[in-house]
């Protein structure tokens, strides 16, 4: 595997709407991000991905783009964006935008023109099918956000368009070379402005299994999961390779794919030395336990499941490429609430989770607020919920016989608002996020959990993240912690997650006691030196280390 400039970096995802509001309208914005770049630098962040800030009706919070070449006025202006790029570059930081090209918004000019003339040039940018009265829809796929993927084309009684996500997100037809050309021009236009790269949204969906056909229904609604057709949609690589060759490669851009459902043999194509992307996310543990029937049938992930998922990815990637490791993002509940067993959430267990995922082989990502241990949001009424997928899941749960309380509890566990509440800067009103009324309510725990308090506390999660970041980047240990191979240690041991990172000069051992009970772990032969731990001390005696509940330790084995 070739060494790349970004391997040693730390990446950070910003959800702009909830990061920092500079003008009191309750919505986070680009000037707000610019003003906080030094904070991120101080933490040790190098690469920043911004969730979408393009012009959008925000039906899916910006993942529905109405103009790819302009900034939504709620987030700022093109001037602000250029300013952000300059300020980031001046600090040796890199900015990635979200590339959402599986679909656009139904308010995009292309779609408007398609409605005016479905048989014309722009009609061919979408999937539009004629369905005469009494005829059935072209296929019975269920959209990601619920309901059929077909919606009546405005102004046409007998025409329907495809949307695998929300009906305000019509799918773009990648089979059409003209559409692909539009996308490449737009991507190159952004890269020419000095943008450093992209995160590729829902990218696997750009290839559909054609011609459209029904699959056996998997719920009472007569529809089938969208994943069913994805299994049969072959050839996405042709589009991705073309995209890379026409845009990313000539600009030397950094890219990270949101890839689900790839086949193991395709990995080198995706993130090998000549891959479609620089990196892609590991979602093995993210999707663990998710039921196609709905959130009410999801299964909790245990520490042993978590370990199995992570190691599965680590083994299959090995030296093929550099995976991107996360514990959360804007679509997921807070990682500390999801992966730490209920009742065991504490500063110590949060630090433990940080340690085990951050030092895996790959690029570590932090989602905004993760570094201060932000937690899930309590919900007492469906009217408080913004996220469109939560509204669908709520209804699905009620239809399946859940009570209102049970359905709300599912939103508290899995809903996307959990990660989208405003960043908790300090203990003042609205957590210091805005002087106005925030677009989404602040988590009431901000007095206890906020950045200002944690910056002053040497024992805080924030300070621990700073140490982890610095350790991974350190000239001394990066040969092992960045470039070293990963070898699981005592893999079969219950509630223990441990692995070695073996580099050319150093051999590191990371051990996490993923339970509240103390335990002792036998160490390999050699002198063991504690480099980092989340507890007061780590006692080594007779070749074994004594660990408190949720203690994690990073050792150098000499």
Nearer to ligand TEU, 24 or 292 (CB): 292
Minimum CB separation of residue 27 from Ca ion in Å reads 4
Considering only residues 23 to 52 of the shown chain, the ones binding Ca ion according to CB under 5 A are 23, 25, 27, 29
Single out the catalytic residue among 21, 60, 64, 201: 201
201 is catalytic: yes
Nearer to Ca ion, 6 or 439 (CB): 439
Residue pair 48/95 in contact by the 8 Å Cβ criterion: yes
First to last CA, the chain: 26
**Cα 506 to Cα 488: distance, rounded to the nearest angstrom:** 16
CB atoms within 10 A of CB 14: 25
Contacts (Cβ under 8 Å, ≥6 apart) of 149: 139, 141, 142, 143, 162, 163, 164, 226
Partner whose footprint covers residue 165, from Ca ion, ligand TEU, none (CB < 5 to 8 Å by kind): ligand TEU
165 part of the interface to ligand TEU, by CB under 6 A: yes
Nearer to ligand TEU, 165 or 277 (CB): 165
Contacts (Cβ under 8 Å, ≥6 apart) of 242: 180, 184
Task: Provide the mask over 31-60, with x wherever binding to ligand TEU is found by CB under 6 A and - wherever it is not.
Answer: -----------------------------x
Nearer to Ca ion, 52 or 321 (CB): 52
Select the residue whose beta carbon is closest to Ca ion and give its number.
29
- Residue carrying structure tokens 């807070």: 334
- Count of alpha carbons within 13 angstroms of residue 421, beta-carbon side: 29
Partner whose footprint covers residue 25, from Ca ion, ligand TEU, none (CB < 5 to 8 Å by kind): Ca ion
Nearer to ligand TEU, 236 or 486 (CB): 236
Nearer to ligand TEU, 284 or 493 (CB): 284
Partner whose footprint covers residue 21, from Ca ion, ligand TEU, none (CB < 5 to 8 Å by kind): Ca ion
201 part of the interface to ligand TEU, by CB under 6 A: yes
331 part of the interface to ligand TEU, by CB under 6 A: yes
Sheet containing 519-522: which strands, arranged edge to edge? 519-522, 544-547, 539-541
Please give the angle made by the CA atoms of 358, 364 and 369, to the nearest 5 degrees: 85
Q: Which residues pair with 224 in a beta bridge?
A: 141
Partner whose footprint covers residue 23, from ligand TEU, Ca ion, none (CB < 5 to 8 Å by kind): Ca ion
- Choose the binding region for Ca ion from 22-30, 368-376, 395-403, 475-483 (rule: CB under 5 A): 22-30
Partner whose footprint covers residue 201, from ligand TEU, Ca ion, none (CB < 5 to 8 Å by kind): ligand TEU
Which one among 12, 94, 125, 144 touches ligand TEU, defined by CB under 6 A?
144
63 part of the interface to ligand TEU, by CB under 6 A: yes
**Cα 553 to Cα 511: distance, rounded to the nearest angstrom:** 5
Distances from the Cα of 542 to the Cα of 217, 490, 522, 545, angstroms: 60, 18, 9, 8
- To the nearest 10°, report the CA torsion of 479, 484, 487, 490: 20
Single out the catalytic residue among 258, 282, 331, 417: 258
Minimum CB separation of residue 245 from ligand TEU in Å reads 24
Sheet containing 94-99: which strands, arranged edge to edge? 279-280, 254-257, 197-200, 94-99, 47-50, 11-14, 363-367, 324-325
Q: Which of 142, 120, 140 is nearest to 131 (CA)?
A: 140
Partner whose footprint covers residue 63, from ligand TEU, Ca ion, none (CB < 5 to 8 Å by kind): ligand TEU
Nearer to ligand TEU, 330 or 506 (CB): 330
Nearer to Ca ion, 19 or 306 (CB): 19
- Give the interface size with ligand TEU as a residue count (CB under 6 A): 10
Sheet containing 159-162: which strands, arranged edge to edge? 128-130, 159-162, 150-152
Distances from the Cα of 72 to the Cα of 15, 28, 77, angstroms: 14, 12, 7
Q: Which helix (H) or strand (E) holds 490?
A: none
**Cα 93 to Cα 86: distance, rounded to the nearest angstrom:** 10
Considering only residues 89 to 108 of the shown chain, the ones binding ligand TEU according to CB under 6 A are 100
Minimum CB separation of residue 19 from Ca ion in Å reads 10
Partner whose footprint covers residue 100, from Ca ion, ligand TEU, none (CB < 5 to 8 Å by kind): ligand TEU
Binding site for Ca ion (CB under 5 A): 21, 23, 25, 27, 29
Active site (catalytic) residues: 201, 258
Binding site for ligand TEU (CB under 6 A): 60, 63, 100, 144, 165, 201-202, 258, 330-331
């Amino acid at each position: 595997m070739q060494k790349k400039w970004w391997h040693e970096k730390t990446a950070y995802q910003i959800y702009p709407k909830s990061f920092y509001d500079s003008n009191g309208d309750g919505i986070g914005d680009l000037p707000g991000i610019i003003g906080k770049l030094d904070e991120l630098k101080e933490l040790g962040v190098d690469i920043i991905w911004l969730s979408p800030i393009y012009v959008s009706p925000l039906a899916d919070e910006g993942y529905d783009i109405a103009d790819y070449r302009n900034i939504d006025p709620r987030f700022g202006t093109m001037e602000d964006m250029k300013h952000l790029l300059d300020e980031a570059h001046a600090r040796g930081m890199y900015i990635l935008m979200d590339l959402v090209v599986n679909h656009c918004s139904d308010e995009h000019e292309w779609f408007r023109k398609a409605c005016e003339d479905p048989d014309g040039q722009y009609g061919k940018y979408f999937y539009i099918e004629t369905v005469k009265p009494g005829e059935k829809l072209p296929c019975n796929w269920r959209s990601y956000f619920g309901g059929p993927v077909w919606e009546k084309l405005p102004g046409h009684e007998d025409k329907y368009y495809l949307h695998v996500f929300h009906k305000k997100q019509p799918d773009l037809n990648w089979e059409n070379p003209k559409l692909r050309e539009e996308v490449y021009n737009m991507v190159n236009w952004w890269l020419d402005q000095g943008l450093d790269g992209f995160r590729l949204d829902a990218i696997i969906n750009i290839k559909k299994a054609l011609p459209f056909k029904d699959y056996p229904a998997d719920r009472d609604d007569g529809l089938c999961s969208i994943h069913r057709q994805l299994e049969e949609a072959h050839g996405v690589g042709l589009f991705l390779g073309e995209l890379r060759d026409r845009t990313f490669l000539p600009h030397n851009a950094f890219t990270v794919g949101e890839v689900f459902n790839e086949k193991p043999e395709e990995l080198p194509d995706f993130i090998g030395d000549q891959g479609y992307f620089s990196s892609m996310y590991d979602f093995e543990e993210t999707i663990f336990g998710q039921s196609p029937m709905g959130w009410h049938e999801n299964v909790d992930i245990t520490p042993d499941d978590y370990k199995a998922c992570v190691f599965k990815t680590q083994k299959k990637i090995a030296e093929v490429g550099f995976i991107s490791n996360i514990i959360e993002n804007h679509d997921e509940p807070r990682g500390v609430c999801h992966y730490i067993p209920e009742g065991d959430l504490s500063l110590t267990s949060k630090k433990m989770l940080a340690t085990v995922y951050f030092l895996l082989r790959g690029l570590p990502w932090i989602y905004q607020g993760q570094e201060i241990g932000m937690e899930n949001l309590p919900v007492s009424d469906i009217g408080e919920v913004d996220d469109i997928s939560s509204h669908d899941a709520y209804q699905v749960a009620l239809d399946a016989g859940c009570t209102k309380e049970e359905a709300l509890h599912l939103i508290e566990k899995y809903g996307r608002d959990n990660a989208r509440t405003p960043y908790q800067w300090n203990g003042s009103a609205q957590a210091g996020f805005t002087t106005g009324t925030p677009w989404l309510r602040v988590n009431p725990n901000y007095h206890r959990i906020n950045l200002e308090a944690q910056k002053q506390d040497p024992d805080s999660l924030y300070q621990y993240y700073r140490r982890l970041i610095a350790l991974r980047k350190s000239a001394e240990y990066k040969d092992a912690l960045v470039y070293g191979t990963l070898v699981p240690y005592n893999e079969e041991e219950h509630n223990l997650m441990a692995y070695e990172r073996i580099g050319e000069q150093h051999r590191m051992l990371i051990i996490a006691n993923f339970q509240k009970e103390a335990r002792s772990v036998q160490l390999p032969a050699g002198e063991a030196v504690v480099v980092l731990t989340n507890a007061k001390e780590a006692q080594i005696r007779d070749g074994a280390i004594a660990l408190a509940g949720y203690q994690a330790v990073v050792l150098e084995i000499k």
